[in-house]
Amino acid sequence: MGRALIVDDEADARQFIRAVLEPDGWEIAEAENGQTGLEQARAFKPDLVILDIQMPEQGGFTMFNELKKEPELGNCKVIMLTGVREKTGLGFSGEEMGEFYGTEPDAYLEKPVQPGALKRVINRVTGND
Amino acid sequence: MPRNRTRSQESTSAEAAPRPPSIEHDRRALGDLTRVSEMVAGELALDVVLRSAMDAAADALNAEACSILLLTSPDQLTFHMVDGPQSSGLNRTQLPIDDGSIAGWVANHQEPLLVTDAYQDRRFNPAYDRRTGFRTRSILCVPLRARGEQVGVIEVLNRRDGLPFDTQDLEFGQAVASLIAVAIHNAKQHEALMKAERLATIGQTIAGMAHCVKNILNGLQGGSYMIDQAVDPEDGTQMADGWRIVRRNIRFLSNIVLDMLSYSKERKPVRRPCQLADLYQDVVELLQDQAAERGVTLTAASQVGEVRLDEAAMKRCLVNLVGNAIDACGKGGGLVELHDRPAETTGYVAVRVTDNGCGMAEEDRQRIFDPFFSTKGAKGTGLGLAVARKIVQEHGGVISAGSSPGRGTVFTLTLPTTPPDRTED
């Protein structure tokens, strides 16, 4: 299938997504926050990044912004996972992110993540439907 | 309920001779009023206000006993504070607002009453004396009104010097009553504000926990998925059975928690382009197990295609509706359908959840969207449909239900496909 990088500060969450993706043939790498995520992305060169928003050290939005500036990762698809809306009362639409960063993630999913929904979104975003 | 404006009524028996006015008396009265004011003003807890008010009134009017009765419904007073010998049995007793008692009469006519010889007055009700063993001689009863609204009445009994209450006491009593009424009104307002604040705080606390809770639910979901991959659906061992119980209850708990989170805060939908067919598929997937357990066939189809809506919120809404539909089918199987078509009004889509289950009676149908109303007994939180309606309304849509007992139910959600504040997509 390709290479997928999972970035989430919760180990359980990373393991869950790995369990969803690996059976479909994805090669997996993991990172705990935006900073190590960026380092991994440069080394691993993923086709797909699944990115949690709220993380310590460096959060998802910041990493996403940095990722999009990387020359070799331009075609990488990014799916963002959010539970952040509950805490802050703020929700971000793709358009708002687009206006702010100049680019939007390929998809958003709200936690708790439904495995079927995740797979469908991945297929849609990577053109595998 | 008569509220005639008549002259201040006095007892039918011999009038008490008014005391000669004196500067000394006036000065004492002013001092007493100031003391009353100090005792009740600034207190905000209703019980404390009532206690202070009674003490102040009994003191200022030199009375053996004092009662405050509050208006607890348009035709009823309740003894809220009673002080004096043998009075504790009266607290919380209810009294109708009619001419069958002095306090009832005063509340009914909204006029103060001075009764110099109680047992000679037709309106006096000796039943309360019989209950308490007290012997009432004279009564001063004044309505409590604040900001144009009735609060209740205050009643003082038996002047301590043995003489009956007089017109000066009546005038003084009215001044005291107006201070007390304002204090009670303020205390009640304060109580209402505190209650509203408490509810708002609970909402805030739940929302604050939400992020943490959603991560936990995510973990439960993840672990469940992994175990499901490993357990053969045909497996009849105790472990597999035990797992199915755990999985089902994780689902119940997730639903309750997600409903509570949805319900606790106002939410502006975050609209993104969404394929309704994908949304329905997610919903079906979430409810597959529940449908299978009941032998219910669950189908979904979309004609409409892409709309702009808050996918996560709409998923919660549909999961509640479809889950209810499955439950309505009982254990014998049934059919639940989730489908849509363009609504009659342009720019709207009609999403429908139909079932051929038990249906509901008209009086239930009218209440189903009320929070905490449930026909499921111990299994229902009563929040599912309240949440569904909240979500639909936040989207600028409308939800309705049609049903008859034994013939199934249809829920129709009419949703705008273009959000109201945008003119183009």
Q: Which sequence spans correspond to the domains of chain B?
A: 9-193, 269-416
Lowest mean pLDDT among A3-7, A41-45, B133-137, B208-212: B208-212
Residue B218 confidence (pLDDT): 86
Low-confidence ranges of chain A (pLDDT < 70): 55-58, 83-103, 129
- Domain locations in chain A? 2-126
Calculate how close chain A gets to B207, using CA atoms only, in Å: 6
* pLDDT above 50 for B2: no
Superfamily per CATH, domain A2-126: Response regulator (3.40.50.2300)
Mean pLDDT of all residues in B386-397: 91
B310 touches chain A (CB under 8 A): yes
Considering only residues B35 and B243, tell me which one the structure prediction assigns the higher pLDDT: B243
Residue A55 confidence (pLDDT): 66
3-state secondary structure of B140: strand
* B27-40 pLDDT tens trace: 777 887 887 787 77
CB spacing of B219 vs A12 below 8 angstroms: yes
d(CA B59, CA B160): 10
CATH of the domain spanning B9-193, picked from 3.60.20.10, 3.20.20.140, 3.30.450.40, 2.40.10.10 = 3.30.450.40
Considering only residues B329 and B208, tell me which one the structure prediction assigns the higher pLDDT: B329
Mean pLDDT of all residues in B186-196: 84
Lowest mean pLDDT among B146-150, B222-226, B266-270: B266-270
Residue B20 confidence (pLDDT): 64
All residues at 6 or more sequence positions from B60 whose CB lies less than 8 Å from its CB, including other chains: B32, B33, B35, B36, B172, B176
* B152-176 pLDDT tens trace: 999 999 999 999 999 999 999 999 9
All residues at 6 or more sequence positions from B177 whose CB lies less than 8 Å from its CB, including other chains: B57, B112, B142, B143, B144, B154
B16, two tokens: 């008490």
Chain A residues touching residue B311 (CB < 8 angstroms) = 110
- Mean pLDDT, chain B, rounded, equals 84
Superfamily per CATH, domain B269-416: Histidine kinase-like ATPase, C-terminal domain (3.30.565.10)
Considering only residues B14 and B398, tell me which one the structure prediction assigns the higher pLDDT: B398
Calculate how close chain A gets to B333, using CA atoms only, in Å: 25
Testing the interface with B: which of A108, A111, A121 to mutate, by most B Cβ within 10 A? A111
Chain B residues touching residue A17 (CB < 8 angstroms) = 222
* pLDDT above 50 for B7: no
Lowest mean pLDDT among B57-61, B71-75, B134-138, B374-378: B374-378
Closest residue in B to A19 (Cα) is B226
* pLDDT above 70 for B136: yes
User: Within 13 Å, how many C-alpha atoms sit on residue A99's CB side?
Assistant: 4
Nearest to B215 among A94, A111, A117 (CB): A111
* pLDDT above 80 for B393: yes
**pLDDT above 70 as % of chain B:** 90
Mean pLDDT of all residues in B363-384: 79
DSSP state of B122: T
* pLDDT above 80 for B151: yes
Chain B residues touching residue A94 (CB < 8 angstroms) = 272
Q: Identify any residues that bridge with B342 across adjacent strands, giving them in sequence order.
A: B349
* B262-289 pLDDT tens trace: 887 777 788 888 889 999 999 998 898 8
Mean pLDDT of all residues in B245-249: 89
Chain B residues touching residue A83 (CB < 8 angstroms) = 210-211, 214-215, 218
B422 touches chain A (CB under 8 A): no
